[in-house]
Structure 1
Amino acid sequence: AGHLVLLAVLLPLCSRAAPERLRYAIPEEMESGSVVGPLARDLGLSPADLPARQLRLVSAARRQLKYFSVSADTGHLYVSERLDREEMERVCERMQMCLINLEILVESYMKIFKVEIEITDLNDNAPKFHQDKLQFRISETAAVGMRFPLEEAQDEDVGLNALQRYELSGDEHFALDVQTGPDGSKNAELVLTKALDREEAALHELVVTAVDGGNPARTGTARIRVVVLDANDNAPVFSQAVYTVRVREDVPIGSRLLTVNATDADEDTNAEVTYSLRRMPGGASRLFQMNPRTGDVTTTGTLDYEEVSLYELEVHAKDGGDLLARAKVLVNVMDVNDNVPEIIVTSAVTSVFEDSPAGTIIALLKVKDEDSGAGGEVTMSLPDTLPFHLHKTFEDYYSVETSRELDREAVSEYNVTVRATDGGSPALWSSAVLPLRVLDVNDNAPVFAEARYSARLPENNAKGALVLRVRAWD
């Protein structure tokens, strides 16, 4: 009868081909409580099935869990916290396609489904210059065609909604030249198109406008003030266009990573070079600093390979006449085996009947290690002396199963210790203990102490007189 009931429970879901992976697309700015999609229906579950199925969100990156929830009543997937791609920097990382991966458990038969949610971008941010007022001090002897790099405007949106072009208004002495970098960045330079004459005009006022590709487009502006000077006609020159350094993620705070160097062919104050770090995205401004005199780049915070493995910094070298050059510094963070494998008990039972067949699942586990390479490769193990084994079920999920029938009369309780060990050197490990009680079934007949009993007694005994005693155990 027990087996017939189990078949009746599993039949509704097994009779429909539920997809292994679902995908939804929703716009950013959705408020808490908004419906992402009819998750239960898309998995082939009816509302009547939900209480028995115990549908729930069991796993995702910790920083993503807070954004979504599953209704136990309707089976719908809901937004739990307002979605803003720009505020979800560590989730979307300014990718044009922002995908959030969730894992859904159907508790009743321990099955995991993957759900992908794409957060589409809205044009809700205008391009913005870090400084809305810029000043250049340019010698009147500056050659036509001389270039002056401008700070790149920042737009938190992506794709067509991001920064697309620059426009310049002012006078005939200047024009804009915009170059698109391999990463899609728009680097604008102010180009001198007509010789300056300080005696004719000592000051030039310009306006640069950054325009995105939204409909309607959003813009940001910065005012440029050009002061015409006498005779600083050489800009600093870096010894390299790109500096690259590799550093372990456990490098101590205050460590010097590298030194950049720029020279200026001018003399006196016009040849004095000052260094600075610019354009440091993703919180890099809290991790690095530059000595303005020596060009030393040092750490001011703790690096974490699992969060960011590559930093691209922009270095400026400015001389005494406000001419500047720029170079890139690439900081490659090397992984260190500093994360212990984590065992997550997704689902587990606390008791099992002793006549349960071999292969009975007692727990569903997930293991993860934030490290990369060998340090992120995890091996799961159980003590050889226990009547249990591990079975890999889905990607990084494992089930703990019985390897034979149990015997309550021999062992009535187990503390099953599961161990996860990574491949780092030295290796790191963690463990989880699964308490399990073995329930009794009537699988033992009573046994007499003796196979045969005999007694001698005299005749004429009184009624109720003791003849002999027998003893049996179960």
Structure 2
Amino acid sequence: MWAAWRRWGRRERALLWCVLVAAWEAAWGQLRYSLPEEMPKGSFVGDVAKDLGLDLPALRHRGVRIVDRGRTQYFALHGKTGHLVTAERIDREQLCRLVEKCVLRCEVIVEGEMQVYGIEVEITDINDNAPSFKEIELEERMSETTAPGSRFPLAEALDPDAGSNSVRRYELSGDEHFSLAVQAGPGGEQRPELVLAKALDREEAAFHELVLRASDGGEPSRTGTARIRVAVLDANDNAPVFSQAEYALRVPEDVPVGSVLVTLTATDADEGMNGHVKYSLKKAVGHGTGRLSSWTPRRERSRCCGAWTSKKATPTNWKCRHGTDRDSGANGEVRCSIAERLPFRLEKTFEDYYRVVTAEELDREKVSEYNVTVRAADGGSPSLWSSAVLALRVLDVNDNAPVFAEARYSARLPENNAAGALVLTVRAADADWGQNARVRYRLSEGRVRGAPLSSYVSVQAETGALYALRSFDYEEVREVGLWVRAEDGGAPALSSNVSVRLVIVDENDNAPQVLYPPPAPAPGAGWAGVELAPRSAEPGALVAKVVAVDADAGQNAWLSYELAKATEPGLFRVGLHSGEVRTARFPLARDAARQSLVVVVKDHGRPALSATATLTVVLAESVAELLSELGSAAAAPGEPAGSLTRWLVVAVAAVSCLFLAFLLLLLALRLRRWRRSQLLAAGSGALRGVPASHFVGIDGVRAFLHSYSHEVSLTADSRKSQLRLSGGSCCDTLPARPPPAEPAPLLGEDPAGARRADPAAAPSLDVIFAEDW
């Protein structure tokens, strides 16, 4: 081994030591950062250059690069700053779905120095997933004999997020018969269970609609819902009930053997085999030769004293009792009749046999039972007669559609309601009987904002209770119109519809939004604006106007304005409803040139929400005041004061130089003309009588300086300042009156020379400077 080591050259041994040192630094030079998931591409992760002590100018020359261990490159190194940034958007749930702590690893390789540094980036979870159920429609089947307190496991909600952003609680709504219990699993997970709180009765309600809601612990919390339909299975808990507690019969002594005396009817509220009724005779008593005949349990038309009929009844056979009149001839002839006021009549079929037929259509909803008295009389004089009563019950057919209790329904639902909240209950009644009168409710198809109506509301099929399946937002949906259909249990089924108008009531959940002044560009600076006000402004002068809107409606959108804070509390006032900022008094010399106003905008909701707007009002009457104020504003903390001050000094110096040069030129021209006039005047008296006002002296220059106008404007929105100096009214101060009589031109002088040298023709001087603050 040592021999092999000696055979290596110095270069190979140095390279080996470098590799060993790089491996040791890679093992101990580990960097760790933390980054929330779903950050956009290019987001800052960490300052690698600073943490590793790398020289920024040498990064590009040393060949520094990032190597990810996976197939996808998630990170990149910014060459100019040495910052580690994201190269792709990172989804924690996609990378580490089953791992509690998600860590991505990469290496920084400095090729010039043969060094490798390891980097670990922990991807933290954000609440970007809502809980969801594997099936949003669940069905449970329970017997009506199930004991209260029984528990039934429910499907758990799944949330890909971790920690507090995962599922934290369950809620159940929709029916008083059930409650919710949540059990903690061995791993800390929550397992919902459906608990029967009240005994079930299938005859009262065959189905129960419930809404199970799961919420996570994020801020804000996200929820997911599932609908549970509990079907109640029938149990034989109802005994048959006869239509009458006691049947009383009048049976003649000569009734034929085998005649049907009465038809008994019993019903059972259970369904299926539990609702089938069988009849049996418990006790029979006979006297002499008479005996009680057998009878049939079927609902069929009888030929004696009792019968069933339907609304579209066919004739019912009935035989008058003969042989009871032992007379002969006309005295033995028997004729049967019934009262004319009943909707029946008798038809003779054969010898002494008659049948009872309907004389008009029957309506069970008006009269459900008839007692028909049949009178049998002979032809003797005086006539002898006897009577018997025929009991008829009208069977029901499905000829009545359900009728709603109201022509239309409307309800008001506050926005931001909880999912599963009861909205209202619609009720419909059916005049039919039994199964034909059993009403079920369902929603007609419709859409709300492009989504199915069934995703917004649901109706309980048995009770007609209307539930909201999601939370409504008044700013998105203000009214929902829908139709509820009621169907009976007949064959074929009859139905009717009713319109339901759901009005979403606004709540004060939106704060006022200030439109003017616009928001300040600096983060967290609130609202800011700059307005100018002259120091000579009178009380009541308009300075600015705060404009705000509110997305709510009604009194929740009524806005009022008030001045919350001001540099000089008594200098300005704000209109309560207009938002206009006006002067409350004359500005004083002691008032600061820069006034800061904070205006609070409140709505009239309960509780009231508010927003603030910040205005900066500059009191300025001269260039010097404004420049001084600009300089002080430029020197505010966090702003590049040196740059603005430098440009202001340069601009003022340039303006001063140009103005001085202009004055010197003007003075030189005037002196030249004056000298020529003096020379000519010495030789001749031609200039005598010329007004002295035609010559400009020191007084004219002073007047020019005094009348030099200025305009200054400051715009805070663009963060630029602009100074404009113009000649304006300078020419108005120079003497320009023509002489009473125009003198002859001077020797060697252009007659138009005076006009060219006239200060009124001097061009205006504009100096504009602008710079970003």
Same-fold status (TM-score > 0.5): no
The one of the two structures with greater contact order (alpha-carbon pairs below 8 A, sep at least 6) is 1
Query: What TM-score do you get using the length of structure 2 for normalisation?
Result: 0.27
Query: What TM-score do you get using the length of structure 1 for normalisation?
Result: 0.42
Whichever structure has more strand as a proportion of its residues is 1
